[in-house]
Amino acid sequence: MSQKAIAVLTSGGDAPGMNAAVRAVVRTGISKGMKVYGVSRGYNGLLTGDVTELNLRSVSDIIHRGGTVLYTARSEEYNTPAGVKKAADFCRELGVSGVVVIGGDGSFRGARDLTGEGIPCVGIPGTIDNDIACSEYTVGFDTAMNTAMEMVDKIRDTAQSHDRCSVVEVMGRRCGDIALQTGIAVGAASILVPEVEFDIERDVISRILNNQSTGKKHFIIVVAEGVGKVNELATYIQNRTGIESRATILGHVQRGGSPTLRDRVVASEMGYKAVSLLEEGIGNRVVAMKNGAIVDYDITEALNMKRVFDTNLYEIAHTISI
């Protein structure tokens, strides 16, 4: 019987910990007697033939590195039925009988389509946003939050020195998880997320004025990207309270940097699980975390799940920031 071969790719926005996942996939695959190919620039590599066979040493020295050594991309050509078929034909020519896709929801839709063309795929949630409904954790989330926390700590030094209010936007696309947890960790006076309706007067201005009446002189407001408009909000706060205010958009700094211990370990566990599924010939699955354990779901089922925002934690955040 010929040696089984699988491929691994990273797709969509990069996330710290993707390299640790790639490493785990390669090492698990080889230890199970498989050939493992690395695909460059997401699904594009399956269309252009940009793949390389990886060995144990190809993935040495990457567990601590941010970004993705495989590069990543969002492919327009792949997002067509003809593109998916071309990618599947290429996999068959190469003898690849399974693909591990590390990315977010968009990447999982691609994995579902490729499975539909006869190449079993398994997804690993890799995105800083923590916005994959089927998983309570996505690789990259912890590192991004810790980076955001460190950045806001620095902003706080200058806000404190000037008795200012700093309005800080963090990433997360339509998901408020980075904002919620970072907001708690930096002691934000208010946290605005797209999942919870808010009123600027009640949830920002009154909170600042109440805090001010008990002696607080500088303020941090954390705003999720999905809410946005931080410049307008800073101007509004300054006009309404008389407190000098500044806005900062943290941006892509949150996507880089060496992954935290949590991201490296979860990525390693998920990489191992993905290859174990492909070894059994099982595809169309997403690896996920549930109650701290690594599990897997059908991709279509996973894509139809609804994310649940932690309103309890949101309540706690606002209760203790008075």
Binding-residue total with ligand F6P (CB under 6 A)? 9
DSSP string, 264-320: HHHHHHHHHHHHHHHHTT--SEEEEEETTEEEEEEHHHHHHPPP---HHHHHHHHHT
DSSP string, 144-198: HHHHHHHHHHHHHHHHHHHT-EEEEEE--TT--HHHHHHHHHTT-SEEE-TTS--
**Angle formed at CA 172 by CA 321 and CA 299, multiple of 5 degrees:** 125
**Contacts of ligand F6P in 113-142 (CB under 6 A):** 127-129
Cα–Cα distance measured from residue 72 to residue 107, given in angstroms and rounded to the nearest whole number: 11
* Half-sphere exposure in the Cβ direction for 50 (13 Å, CA): 13
When binding is defined by CB under 6 A, the residue of 225, 263, 269, 296 that contacts ligand F6P is 225
When binding is defined by CB under 6 A, the residue of 25, 102, 171, 208 that contacts ligand F6P is 171
Asked whether 209 and 202 are in contact (CB, 8 A), the reply is no
Asked whether 50 and 22 are in contact (CB, 8 A), the reply is no
Select the span of 114-122, 148-156, 165-173, 287-295 touching ligand F6P (CB under 6 A).
165-173
Task: Write down the least CB distance from residue 202 to ligand F6P, Å.
Answer: 27
* Residue 194 found at the interface with ligand F6P (CB under 6 A): no
- Select 29 or 104, whichever has its Cβ closest to ligand F6P: 104
**Angle formed at CA 277 by CA 273 and CA 282, multiple of 5 degrees:** 155
First-to-last C-alpha distance (Å) of the chain: 67
* Binding mask of the shown chain, residues 3 to 22, with x at each position contacting ligand F6P by CB under 6 A: ----------x---------
- Select 253 or 265, whichever has its Cβ closest to ligand F6P: 253
Set 14, 105, 113, 129: catalytic member: 129
The alpha carbons of the chain give a radius of gyration, in whole angstroms, of 22
- Select 225 or 296, whichever has its Cβ closest to ligand F6P: 225
When binding is defined by CB under 6 A, the residue of 173, 262, 307, 318 that contacts ligand F6P is 173
Task: Write down the least CB distance from residue 172 to ligand F6P, Å.
Answer: 5
The DSSP code for 3 is P
Active site residue 113: no
- Select 96 or 225, whichever has its Cβ closest to ligand F6P: 225
- Select 28 or 127, whichever has its Cβ closest to ligand F6P: 127
Beta bridge partner(s), residue 223: 169, 192
* Residue 59 found at the interface with ligand F6P (CB under 6 A): no
- Select 35 or 255, whichever has its Cβ closest to ligand F6P: 255
Task: Write down the least CB distance from residue 210 to ligand F6P, Å.
Answer: 31
Alpha-carbon distances, residue 110 vs 25, 92, 142, 229, 284 (angstroms): 19, 17, 25, 32, 10
When binding is defined by CB under 6 A, the residue of 42, 66, 98, 172 that contacts ligand F6P is 172
**Contacts of ligand F6P in 237-276 (CB under 6 A):** 255
Active site amino acids: 129
Task: Using CB under 6 A, list all residues that contact ligand F6P.
Answer: 13, 127-129, 171-173, 225, 255
